[in-house]
Structure 1
Amino acid sequence: MADWGPVVIAVVLFVLLSPGLLFQLPGRGRVVEFGGMHTSGISILVHTIIFFGLLTIFLIAVGVHIYTG
């Protein structure tokens, strides 16, 4: 049996936390911008930290597992 939980969680978080897609933290003119489709180096760093934090919480603390087979 294969555990697809980490793969699914990582892909969903990657898509949702792409800077500029849904929101950008910090924005260009404001703290948070929604749907701006722009990005900067600092926003990439912030979104990376948020991604790995949420991924760690979901995989280690919550223990999401999706088994196939």
Structure 2
Amino acid sequence: MSDWGPVFVAVVLFILLSPGLLIQMPGHNRFIEFGNFKTSGVSILVHSILYFALICIFLLAVGVHMYVGS
């Protein structure tokens, strides 16, 4: 059996925290902008820090595990 929990969490967080896809922090005109499909260097930095913090929480503190296979 293989543990697919870390892979699943990493992919979902990567999709949700891609700057400009769903949200962008900080935005160009406001602090949070939704679905503008634009990004900036500061936004990339903020989203990467959030990604690192959330993946550490989910994988190290919570310990998400998903076993697939026989």
The alignment's TM-score, normalised by the length of structure 1, stands at 0.97
Residue 13 of structure 1 corresponds to: 13
Structure 2, gaps ≥5 residues long? none
**C-alpha separation in 1, matches of 2:34 and 2:68:** 36
Identity of aligned residues (%): 67
- Aligned length, in residue pairs: 69
Aligned to 2:32: 32
1:14: how far off? 0.1
Q: Which amino acid aligns with 2:45?
A: L
Q: 1:33-59, CA deviations, whole angstroms, 9 ceiling, x for partnerless residues? A: 001100000000000000010000000
Deviation at 1:68, TM superposition (A): 1.6
Q: CA RMSD in A?
A: 0.5
Runs of 4 or more off by more than 3 Å in structure 1?
none
Q: TM-score, normalized by length of structure 2?
A: 0.96
